Each structure stands twice: as C-alpha cells, then as structure tokens.
Amino acid sequence: MQLAINYSPQAAALLGQKAIVLDRFKLPNWDWLIAEARAFAPVYVHFDLIAGDGKLAQRDWGVLERQLRETDTRYLNVHLFPRLSDFRWTAQPDKAGEARVIETMLRDIALAVSRVGAGRVIVENIPLKRKDGAVTLCVNADVIRDVLRATGAGLLLDLSHARLTCEALGWDLSQYLDALPLERTREVHVTGIVTIEGQRRDHFGMQPDDWPFLDMALDKLKARGAQPDMLSFEYGGVGERFEWRSETEVIARDMPLLAERVRAFSGR
C-alpha cells in the first residue's frame, strides 16, 4: 500500500526538505495542477465523476483517459451520489423510484467500465448530508455491495465519509464497515473531522479521536483480506476552499504517523 496526500505547496515544501515521505500526490483532474505537482513527485488523479446522475456519457472521455494515462493513475474513481434533484424529486423515492436510481447508478458505472475496464473502476461512498439532497439508498451497505458485484468495480473506502454518514443516521460505524464489501477495497481516504458552528466537517488534520477509527478500519481491511493500493490523506490543497487548511505543522505532524500505519499494514 502506498501513501499519498493532497498536493499543496506546503506538502511539496516539506517533501523537498525530506520532512515527510510519500509515494504520490493526490490531486484533481486539472491539467495545470498536474503539471505543477509532477515537478515534485509522482501524482495520481482523483476525478469529480458521479454515478447516479446519468451524466457520465456527457463527459469528455478522451480527456479523462489521457489524464489517466499521462499520470499513470491506476483507478478511475466515481462517487456514488444520486441526488433527488437529478430525478426532479422533493422526497425520498418509493420502491419503484429506488429501482430507477439503482438502474441509473449501474448504467453510469457500466459506462465507466466499458471505457477503462472493471478492474480499473472504483466507487467511492459519499458522506450523507441532508442539505446535499442525496438519495439516501446510495449509502446503504447492501446497495453498495450489490452495485459492485454487478459491475465488477472496486471500492474506494472514504473513512471520514463513512463516519459522517453513520453520525447522521445514528448507525454504528463498526457494524457499517463490517457490512460494506471491504474485501473489494482498492483505495482508502482518511481525514480528521472537526465541528465548526455545529456542523461536522472533514478534510482537516487528524484529531486525537480520529486515529482509533483509522486503526479499526485498517484492522478490518486486513481481516477481510483487502489489499488497497493507496492510503490517501485528503488534507490540504490549493485555492480558497483549501488554502486556509493546508498548515505545514499539521502535515509534518500527521504524515509520519500515517506512514507508520502504511508500513505496518504492508508488512514493511
């Protein structure tokens, strides 16, 4: 398993100083940022693709496939994120509506599979937030398992998303993880979670109570025989959304602790 972090100037500077170790920078599919980050380390692309809104066919697949190829990105990720607005609904669907959503998710993932192959598609679980208007069945562990089984895709386990979903729905995280198809995990995302103005938010540095959740998840992955290729710390970045939470001190503190866990998981 390799270790990655969101690309940021702060992380690049620490890498140059040999204050942290990493295998790749994770970054969005922006050509200008890919060029910038590759000057410091190998990179891989995390795409903004969605399965469930029926719009994947409208994307420029020539560009997507070029970016996969030029960065040697192993997996094409899609977010399992159908919204009520995608179907012009104002409330959660009935059984017939749920079947329609599942059909749309399957069709979108099948399109991705047809372009790059089932072995290169990974499906990411989203964080359930009421304001996002998500169709809630997309976070159901049985639905996720059935979708992956039907399409042959792998799982991108976002641990922070799973935690936020369980908090929103009052579920037990350990039981939820057990119900997910962890054996199909190809990539893991982790961040710290903090409360800001009463709202739980991810993409922060690791807090003391975040580490036990990560250790629990890694233990479960190992027990299920999962062999993820990447553990990615989704902290830091560029632009207004992330520049205020790309602190050098946080990266220097958390990356060595994550590296220790990657080595232990991989038996290095």
For 26-76, the pLDDT digits (tens) are 999 999 999 999 999 999 999 999 999 999 999 999 999 999 999 999 999
Averaged pLDDT score across all residues of the chain: 95
pTM above 0.75, yes or no: yes
Q: Could you tell me the pLDDT band of residue 89, with boundaries at 50, 70 and 90?
A: very high
One-letter amino acid for residue 141 of the chain: A
Asked if residue 167 has pLDDT above 90, the reply is: yes
Q: Per-residue pLDDT averaged across 79-87, rounded?
A: 95
Q: Per-residue pLDDT averaged across 121-138, rounded?
A: 88
- 177-200 pLDDT, tens digit each: 999 999 999 999 999 999 988 889
Q: Could you tell me the pLDDT band of residue 130, with boundaries at 50, 70 and 90?
A: low
List C-alpha distances in Å: 95 to 100, 150, 196, 246: 9, 19, 36, 44
What integer pLDDT is reported at residue 161 of this predicted model?
97
What integer pLDDT is reported at residue 243 of this predicted model?
75
Q: Could you tell me the pLDDT band of residue 176, with boundaries at 50, 70 and 90?
A: very high
Q: Could you tell me the pLDDT band of residue 131, with boundaries at 50, 70 and 90?
A: low
User: Which domains does the chain show, CATH number per domain?
Assistant: 2-266 (3.20.20.150)
For residues 111 and 121, give the distance between their C-alpha atoms in angstroms, rounded to a whole number: 10
Q: Could you tell me the pLDDT band of residue 129, with boundaries at 50, 70 and 90?
A: confident
Do the Cβ atoms of 121 and 75 come closer than 8 Å? yes
Do the Cβ atoms of 24 and 2 come closer than 8 Å? yes
To the nearest whole percent, how much of the chain has pLDDT over 70? 99
- 232-253 pLDDT, tens digit each: 999 999 988 777 789 999 999 9
